Amino acid sequence: MDLDPLLLSRIQFAFVISFHILFPSFTVGLACWIAVLEARWLITGKALYRSLSEFWTRIFAISFGMGVVSGIVMTYQFGTNWSRWSDIVGNVLGPLIQYEVVTAFFLEAAFLGILLFGRDRVPRGIHFLAAVLVATGTVLSSFWILSANSWMHTPAGAELRDGRFFVTDWWAVVFNPSFPYRLAHMLTAMFLTTGFVVAGISAFYLLRNRFLEHARVGLSMSLALITILAPLQIFLGDLHGLNTLEHQPAKIAAMEGHWEGGARAPLILFAIPDNEAETNHAEIAIPALSSLILTHEWDGVVPGLKNFPVADRPNPEILFWTFRIMVAIGMIMLAVALIHLVQRVRGKLYSPHWFHKVLVGCMPLGFVAILAGWFTTEIGRQPWVVYGIIRTADAVTPALTGGAVLTSLIVFMVVYTIIYGAGTYYLFRLLTIGPARLNDEDLEIPAVVQGHQPKRPLSVPGESIEPAE
């Protein structure tokens, strides 16, 4: 049996990036959450905020470390599996990735040590500044990585000469047509992912009658964030969809499951796309609604897959479903936001309730939505590695063999299962154990003068992970 190095390289890259993307998606929002807690600790002096910050900083440290490891492995594949891609786009994407390292990763690495180990060694204002700079670094990292990825979808500011791209306008490269929409949509997804984890853990503590003060603060703040961001994300998704319709119409056709396209196109709720027969089976649709959503007009014309050559079409058999998974989760998040408002108005937000069980069950939703959205984005770009210009088949390393890729893929699967299985288990252990114990006087501590340190640390190495009932 012949092993296709192109297909296996795509599977390997998808496997590695699926692991990697989960951790930055969580840590970007978590770093900002920690910065907010540090700000409240700095302003109020209430030990509760310090305790919460210490707890989530431990979670952040492990998640950040696993994200770095998987990211390093991913970048090596640019040379081992995708050397032609690296050669073709190196003049454009090489500097963007370097900017991410210089401006973001160095910032995170420089101040992460202060955040983790400087709690009682530096003034509180400096510790807060370190938290803010780490959070800024995570957002900057997202900025540069999404700029590079967006350029491959909507290339601009560069021209292809003798088989290589050369930059003609750096501003056009960085702020390419899809980048602003992709950045806003992805950052909002990251904050929602963290918000649902914090809300779910807080609800879990309330159901177990543990860490009640911590849980109330976490639940209230995270649900307030979710209530703002869930409807905003739907709005941003609509803007992103309109941008994609303009620049990548074939992707929209595959996402919507449209083969014919045209005016008054129906919104297909359910179907089984058949790529070979170029049709949908068991289709359930609402007439004209797709045209309204995509063009904001009942008679709007939408693209169909048959409008494009077969060789230029993305695969709707996968894309159709990943897109619907993402949209369905967005609707669930909106429902959670609305229920939260009702519960808050009724004064039952903190009482053990079915809603808390729902929040615990919703913890993975953000991660699933990000994976579904990422698959939608990347599979929808196929068969192009630089949309409309360079095909994925022309980007793979020429000397690569299927056996070599298969061997490395199996090794990655085994190693990732061990390392990330252990890391995820430890994360769940920390989340189950909970934050450090607070005494009654800790809950009533008055604001202190900035720069003064408490005489007694709230957590001591070796004791901070003891369960507190």
Give backbone dihedrals phi and psi of 104, rounded to 5 degrees, phi first.
-110, -55
∠52-185-294 over CA atoms, to 5°? 145
Considering the entire predicted model, what is its pTM? Answer: 0.88
From residue 458, give the alpha-carbon distance in Å to each of 11, 32, 178, 441, 465. 46, 22, 46, 12, 11
Assign residue 451 a region (left: φ > 0; alpha: ψ between -120 and 50; beta: otherwise).
Answer: left
| pLDDT for res 438 | 63
Q: How far apart are CA 469 and CA 199, in angstroms?
A: 19
301 beta partners: 263
| pLDDT for res 229 | 95
Question: Per-10-residue mean pLDDT for the chain, 469 residues long?
Answer: 84 88 88 92 88 90 82 81 91 89 81 85 88 92 92 94 92 95 95 94 90 89 94 94 92 91 87 88 88 86 90 91 94 94 88 87 94 93 92 90 89 87 85 72 42 39 34
CA neighbor of 43 nearest in space, from 439, 435, 446, 443: 446
Q: How far apart are CA 74 and CA 82, in angstroms?
A: 11
Pair 436, 56: CB distance under 8 Å: no
From residue 225, give the alpha-carbon distance in Å to each of 32, 154, 184, 373. 12, 31, 15, 21
For residue 362 the two structure tokens come to 């919703």
**What angle do helix axes 179-207 and 316-345 make, rounded to 10 degrees?**
50
Rg (CA), the chain: 24
CA neighbor of 116 nearest in space, from 37, 194, 55: 55
Place of tokens 């989530």: 56
| pLDDT for res 155 | 95
Q: Which residues of 92-105 are buried (b: 16+ CB within 10 A; e: fewer)?
A: bbebbbebbeeebb
Pair 264, 299: CB distance under 8 Å: yes
Q: What is the pLDDT of residues 290-299, one digit of tens each?
A: 888 888 888 8
| pLDDT for res 3 | 82
Q: Give a three-class secondary structure readout of the chain.
A: CCCCHHHHHHHHHHHHHHHHHHHHHHHHHHHHHHHHHHHHHHHHCCHHHHHHHHHHHHHHHHHHHHHHHHHHHHHHHHHHCCHHHHHHHHHHHHHHHHHHHHHHHHHHHHHHHHHHHCCCCCCHHHHHHHHHHHHHHHHHHHHHHHHHHHHHHCCCCEEEECCEEEECCHHHHHCCCCHHHHHHHHHHHHHHHHHHHHHHHHHHHHHCCCCHHHHHHHHHHHHHHHHHHHHHHHHHHHHHHHHHHHHCHHHHHHHHCCCCCEECCCEEEEEEEECCCCEEEEEEEECCHHHHHHHCCCCCEECCHHHCCHHHCCCHHHHHHHHHHHHHHHHHHHHHHHHHHHHHHCCCCCCCCHHHHHHHHCCCHHHHHHHHHHHHHHHHHCCEEECCCEEHHHCCCCCCCHHHHHHHHHHHHHHHHHHHHHHHHHHHHHHHHCCCCCCHHHHCCCCCCCCCCCCCCCCCCCCCCCCCC
| pLDDT for res 454 | 41
Q: How far apart are CA 353 and CA 351, in angstroms?
A: 6
Pair 304, 259: CB distance under 8 Å: yes
Pair 16, 74: CB distance under 8 Å: yes
Q: How far apart are CA 97 and CA 141, in angstroms?
A: 9
Q: How far apart are CA 304 and CA 250, in angstroms?
A: 7
391 beta partners: 384
| pLDDT for res 444 | 46
